[in-house]
């Protein structure tokens, strides 16, 4: 990895910084971070939702709403290194980026496999933010072993009739569209006979039910399909070839430098808490182990950044990270938990407080961070699955 920017890359970084200086309000740049909920931080602030509408339009003017997308589809057509620089600079400023299922997964998959009609119908509305998307993949009996899914889609004239259940669907309560995989040939081996659909979330027969987590927040949902009729025109790619499309979608689900920067910012916030707050300074002053923990977390956050740099350097050379992406995901997820644990140790019994009005306990942020961090080793592929990938594809070990 070449850590220094080329002349062109340095100029691009300067452009991004100038944009943030001019366009991103200081009151949002300095807002408190809700750790573990990086993308949602500050959304509860008055006027932030309205600000985001104009912010998205400004990003799209530069092609930064979807920087990896080709320009002909409304994206920025940025190089791998330029995308890296954009993510890094935005992350250091705690500035929001357009994103989500539509920008990151649905749109790129439609670009690869969709018809011209499908591209024209869906891609512009993803770029504009008019359509929010969700991912209808996991099922109660098919999470890590996704190919074991049982939701059925049976062809009936110009439609497919879908019955089944999906679970852990993030943002389904807000989504306009969803990407769905369902079994269209139950007699085929489990990785075959699956098809990929684009689904209007208001289609009759679909029911979205909330799954409330231990933070008492509504992030996930379960979605039921009861004789839901999906037009055959909404089939993406070929029938019974949906597994290959799904793996393309999952290839886009990668951890990146933004999470690494967020972790470095958390370390800085923890050090500030330890130095300035009565609670934190008392802990650090009386417990050498607390100082050692902070040092360990600082080193680990830097190691995470180096892992991300390695992936970026591979992509710049035209290589496809495989085991390397699993290494990054595993390391990042488990660092999330270690950071949350350190935060709890620094605040002692006050780490139990979740009340946002309790200033002494940092508004309950530590407790919420800890509870949210428990999802990190599960979402996006469990730590166990990542270790299997690393063992088999990285170390050449046989399946157990």
Two tokens, residue 341? 């644990």
Distance (Å, whole) CA 2 – CA 294: 29
- Confirm if 218 and 210 have CB atoms less than 8 A apart: yes
Can you give the C-alpha Rg of the chain in angstroms?
22
Phi, psi values for residue 210, rounded to 5°: -75, 145
CB 179 within 8 A of CB 109: yes
Q: Return all residues near 91 (Cβ < 8 A) that are at least 6 apart.
A: 257, 258, 260, 261, 262, 265
Element (H, E) at 206: strand 206-212
Annotated catalytic residue within 9, 239, 253, 316: 253
Per the annotation, the verdict on 253 as an active-site residue is yes
How far CA 222 is from CA of 173, 308, 373, 376, in Å, comes to 10, 33, 21, 19
Q: Which helix (H) or strand (E) holds 180?
A: strand 177-183
CB half-sphere exposure, 369, CA atoms < 13 A = 29
Count how many residues are written for the chain: 400
Exposure string of 88-98, with b = 16+ CB inside 10 Å and e = fewer, is bbbbbbbbbbb
Pair of tokens at residue 216: 């008492």
Task: Find the DSSP H helices in 136-200.
Answer: none
3-state DSSP: the chain helix, strand, coil percent, rounded to 5?
50, 15, 35
Q: Which residue, chain included where needed, has tokens 């949350």?
A: 340
Q: What is the DSSP letter of 225?
A: E
- Other beta carbons less than 10 A from residue 182's beta carbon: 27
- C-alpha to C-alpha distance for 298 and 263, rounded to whole angstroms: 9
Extract the tokens encoding 22.
């001019």
Catalytic residues: 253
């Amino acid at each position: 990895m070449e850590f220094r920017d080329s002349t062109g890359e340095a100029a691009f970084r300067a452009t991004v910084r100038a944009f943030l200086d001019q366009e991103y309000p200081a009151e949002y740049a300095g807002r408190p971070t809700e750790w573990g909920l990086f993308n949602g931080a500050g959304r509860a602030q008055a006027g932030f939702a309205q600000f985001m509408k104009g912010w998205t339009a400004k990003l799209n003017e530069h092609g930064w709403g979807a920087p990896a997308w080709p320009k002909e589809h409304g994206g920025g057509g940025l190089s791998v290194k330029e995308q890296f620089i954009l993510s890094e600079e935005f992350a250091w400023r705690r500035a929001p980026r357009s994103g989500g299922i539509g920008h990151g997964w649905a749109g790129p998959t439609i670009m690869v496999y969709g018809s011209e009609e499908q591209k024209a119908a869906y891609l512009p509305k993803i770029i504009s933010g008019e359509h929010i998307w969700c991912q209808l993949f996991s099922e109660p009996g098919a999470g890590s072993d996704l190919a074991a899914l049982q939701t059925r889609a049976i062809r009936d004239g110009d439609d497919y009739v879908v019955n089944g259940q999906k679970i852990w669907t993030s943002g389904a309560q807000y989504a306009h569209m969803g990407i769905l995989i369902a079994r269209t040939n139950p007699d085929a081996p489990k990785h075959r006979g699956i098809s990929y659909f684009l689904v209007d979330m208001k289609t009759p027969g679909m029911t979205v039910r909330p799954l409330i987590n231990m933070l008492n927040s509504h992030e996930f949902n379960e979605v039921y399909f009861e004789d839901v009729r999906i037009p055959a025109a909404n089939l993406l790619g070929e029938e019974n070839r949906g597994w290959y499309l799904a793996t393309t979608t999952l290839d886009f689900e990668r951890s990146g430098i933004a999470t690494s920067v967020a972790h470095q910012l958390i370390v800085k916030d923890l050090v500030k808490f330890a130095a300035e707050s009565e609670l934190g300074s008392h802990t650090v002053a009386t417990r050498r182990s607390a100082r050692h923990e902070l040092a360990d977390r600082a080193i680990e956050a830097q190691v995470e950044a180096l892992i991300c740099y390695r992936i970026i350097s591979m992509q710049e050379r035209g290589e496809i990270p495989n085991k390397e992406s699993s290494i990054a995901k595993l390391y990042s997820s488990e660092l999330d938990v270690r950071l949350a644990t350190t935060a709890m140790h620094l605040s002692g019994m006050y780490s139990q407080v979740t009340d946002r009005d309790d200033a002494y306990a940092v508004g309950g942020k530590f407790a919420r961070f800890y509870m949210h961090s428990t999802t990190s080793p599960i979402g996006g592929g469990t730590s166990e699955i990542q270790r299997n990938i690393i063992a088999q594809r990285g170390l050449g070990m046989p399946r157990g």
